[in-house]
Amino acid sequence: MIPTPMPNDRPAEVERAQAWLTENESSLIQHLRELLTIPSVESEPAEGAPFGIECRRALDYVLNLGSAWGMTTKNVDGFAGHAEFGNGEPMVMSLGHLDVVPIGSGWKHDPWGAQIDGDYIYARGTSDDKGPTMAAFYAARALKETGANLPARIRIVFGCDEESGFKCVERYFQTEEAPDFGIAPDSGWPLYHAEKGIANIVVSAPLPAGNLNLISLEAGSRPNIVPDEATAVLQCSPSTAAHAQQIADSYWDKNLKIELSGDTIRLTAFGKSAHGSTPFLGDSAATRALRFALALAGPDQAKQFTDLLMLTHPSGAGVGIEGQDEISRDLTANVGIVQTQQGRLQFTINVRYPVAWKGEELRRRAENFLQAERPDYRIEQFDDSPPLFFPTNQEPVLSLMNVYEIEAGDGKQPGVMGGGTYARAVPNTVSVGTGWEGDGPAHEPDERIHISHPLKMAKIYAHMLYALAHAAAKK
């Protein structure tokens, strides 16, 4: 447990910046809503737009704001960009992302409307991550507008590919300098000093064949989202088809629909999306589809369908990788994509593994398990992003915790997360909190943020950037 920091008075320069933010709250909300209307989901690349024209349009929008505010801006080949002000050799950075996940289904509000309904703004990206990114941008602007005496430059970096691979920051740091200290506003309060490792394991399996043939199964669009819809085609005997209709009518709910055509069953399953780091908060449509198929399978095929169903278990038990450590606790696994290719099923399993583990160990465990228990399964692809861990008695954690205690005073301790932020890809950087109860949920329908929270976040971020600038000058 990290010691509670000694309380300090809020510096006068921070108070001036926070007062400026209060006076300009309406402008902050306006610019956030304008950014939210840009549907910046990754799409086909175009010239100068490696992640699609809408991601590029979002990047142009914020860089134009930075230029209008008198900051120095730079577009790094459409992958990312930054807005900076100040002088001095040290540099403090805030990194946020402009790309968002696909909208999915189940929205009551226009996902690109930035509608204010009651006390909330609804749109994809409000909480992850356009809301916090704009709040950090305004925090930097406030320090600039009020003439804070900073011994370091402040740079706000905007990425366009956080949700699907981090290629934006990989390209950015090929030519741009790393920060002395940085924050990534994309997690929970006060900060997360550890992030689980993230691996995508693509496992292929044979299509079950016998009295019940699985012809195809398709589900999901991204590894890090619980799929909310799945479609399957099964071929069977007339008696099995009749049984399918019977059990569908008897004990399956509206989230599963079947269409019968001779010996063919067309199955559509509906679930609920959730972030891939918390698959237990969602309802996997792929799991629903496979559970129904298992209910139809006879004793001679039960193992075939049970093994497939187990691949969707959120503990990773289906590939033999379940486990935990003392720091970050349980591994989680989300089957985000299922595809039928070349006569086999491919499952993309998004794994969040404990910080004490290594990716090579994870892969070896999966390979050994499949070889012993599922010899006709194979690993087709394995991608790994190693865990992040910062000791709580070192910078930048110490300065950030001191700021948080001054601003919030609730004694919260640094946390550990299953999600992955830019912090894992940037030296000397940790992820910090965003939003409060009622905001979010990330990657789910009707994503939202309370209308008062962008200002509240911006005030804390302004203090954090100020504190890190002074900590960087002492390095």
pLDDT over 50 (residue 57): yes
In whole angstroms, what is the distance from residue 294 CA to residue 306 CA?
7
Under 8 Å between Cβ of 335 and 271: no
pLDDT at 145: 98
pLDDT over 50 (residue 3): no
Instruction: Summarize the confidence of residues 220-234 as an average pLDDT.
Output: 95
pLDDT band at 443 (very low <50, low <70, confident <90, very high): confident
Q: How many helices (H) and strands (E) does the chain have?
A: 11, 22
pLDDT band at 367 (very low <50, low <70, confident <90, very high): very high
Question: Where would I find the beta strands (DSSP E) of 33-71?
Answer: none
pLDDT at 464: 98
pLDDT at 5: 46
pLDDT over 60 (residue 7): no
pLDDT at 8: 57
pLDDT at 251: 67
Least confident interval from 143-147, 157-161, 273-277, 446-450: 273-277
pLDDT over 70 (residue 74): yes
pLDDT tens for each residue of 11-48: 999 999 999 999 999 999 999 999 999 999 999 999 99
Q: What is the CATH number of domain 197-384?
A: 3.30.70.360
pLDDT over 70 (residue 268): yes
Domain with CATH 3.40.630.10 in the chain: 12-196+388-473
pLDDT at 313: 98
Nearest to 97 by CA among 53, 41, 144, 138: 41
Instruction: Tell me whether residue 411 is exposed, middle or buried, using C-beta atoms within 10 angstroms of its C-beta: 0 to 12, 13 to 18, 19 or more.
Output: exposed
End-to-end CA distance of the chain: 25
pLDDT over 90 (residue 276): yes
What DSSP state is assigned to residue 213?
A: E
Q: What percent of the chain has pLDDT over 70?
A: 98
Instruction: Summarize the confidence of residues 123-137 as an average pLDDT.
Output: 98
Under 8 Å between Cβ of 55 and 121: no
In whole angstroms, what is the distance from residue 250 CA to residue 61 CA?
53
Q: Show which residues are catalytic.
A: 99, 162
* DSSP element (H, E) containing 233: strand 229-236
pLDDT over 90 (residue 6): no
pLDDT tens for each residue of 322-357: 999 988 999 999 999 999 999 999 999 999 999 999
* DSSP element (H, E) containing 183: strand 181-187
In whole angstroms, what is the distance from residue 407 CA to residue 401 CA?
10
Domain with CATH 3.30.70.360 in the chain: 197-384
Mean pLDDT of the chain: 94
According to the CATH classification, is domain 12-196+388-473 in 3.20.20.70?
A: no
Instruction: Tell me whether residue 239 is exposed, middle or buried, using C-beta atoms within 10 angstroms of its C-beta: 0 to 12, 13 to 18, 19 or more.
Output: exposed
pLDDT at 254: 79
pLDDT band at 253 (very low <50, low <70, confident <90, very high): confident
Residue identified by tokens 């989680």 is 332
pLDDT over 80 (residue 185): yes
Residue identified by tokens 């309370």 is 450
Give every CB contact of residue 3 below 8 A, 6+ residues apart in sequence: none
Residue 403's Cβ-side half-sphere holds a number of Cα atoms within 13 Å equal to: 29
pLDDT tens for each residue of 384-435: 999 999 988 999 999 999 999 999 999 999 999 888 899 999 999 999 999 9
In whole angstroms, what is the distance from residue 244 CA to residue 29 CA?
52
In whole angstroms, what is the distance from residue 404 CA to residue 436 CA?
14
